[in-house]
Structures are given as C-alpha cells and as structure tokens.
Structure 1
Amino acid sequence: MHHASLDQSRFQELVRKKWSISLSLTALMLTIYFGFILLLAFGRHVLAQKVGTYIPLGIPVGLGVIVSACVLTGLYVRWANTVYDRSVKDCIESMKR
C-alpha cells in the first residue's frame, strides 16, 4: 500500500509541475501579446516612430511578438521532450513493479 501512495504522490507532483510550467509560459505569452495590443491601442505614436529610414518600430516589435511565441513554444517542447517525458517514463516503470 505504501508503494501505491508513493507512486500516486509522484504522479501528482508531475502533474503539478506540468501545469505550473504550462501556465507560466501561457501567462508570459499573454503578457507579451496583450502588451503589444495595448501599445497598439494607446501608444500608436511610439510604434509609428521610424527605425532607420523606412521601417516603423511596430514592424520589429510585431516580429518580436511572433518570435517570442516560437521561442516559448520551443522551450516548452524541449522541456516536455526531455524532463517531462523521462519523468512520465520513470513513473510508469515504477508503477509496473
């Protein structure tokens, strides 16, 4: 019985960690995205400033939002494919014994 409760607590910790990382990355992405939207709504003059001769600041900032989404997704996938998958595998193996 002790072994089953140990497996269950290990599994619950794994679920908590997954939710914690997922929600943290989601909150970060939403902050970046809505920050950009709010800047568009209330600070257009900032984004209209020119970078160089022809490009408004809004273009590189918008690209930064897109790149940040890709980077955050990549970070999550890397974590999931290394740490999380290994932990799931270890948890399943321990439950088989």
Structure 2
Amino acid sequence: MALIGADGKQVAEQEAPKIEFPCENYPVKVVGKGTDDFKDLMLEIFEVHAPGFDYAKVMVRDSSKGNFRSMTVYITATGEAQLKALHQQLKDHQLVHMVL
C-alpha cells in the first residue's frame, strides 16, 4: 500500500530504526505520580529487568507543582523481549502514567 503525503505525492514508507543488541545506555523514561516512593518502586522494576544499571545516571525531575515525577534510567538493552517486559510492567504499575 502506498502512502500519500499532504501534497498528494506518494511517499516512501520508513522503517523504524533498528537497535543492535546489546545496546548500552538505552534510555527509558517513566512519568508518574509525584509520590515519595515513586523512584524506589520504579528502580525495583528496573532491577528485575535490567540488573546492574548505573544508579548514578538515573535522572529524576518533579513537575512545577509536584504532582508528577519523571525519571530516566539508562540500561543495557539486551533484546526486544526484555524491553517489552520492562515497558509492560512499568505501564501496569498504578503510579505510572506513561513510559517512553
């Protein structure tokens, strides 16, 4: 099936970039409720799926009103199955709003 752009011309389909595994410093961002235990609970999940990640590289930011907290963790991605399982467990957590 051909894709047609806004100008009416056919455009080529682009494939998503391929990740070569293992992929060091793969960023996973989690956005959720700004609770005191958010960071610790999320790090427990990361430790299950990507043990040995560098805790020193974990970045946490609070929203201006403190209602939300975002956290970026850099892991060594070992494969699609690992990433899918990690994303699913994060998304299923009651404190999480979004996983990127």
User: TM-score normalised to the size of structure 1?
Assistant: 0.27
Instruction: Find the structure with the greater CA-based Rg.
Output: 1
Higher helix residue share: 1
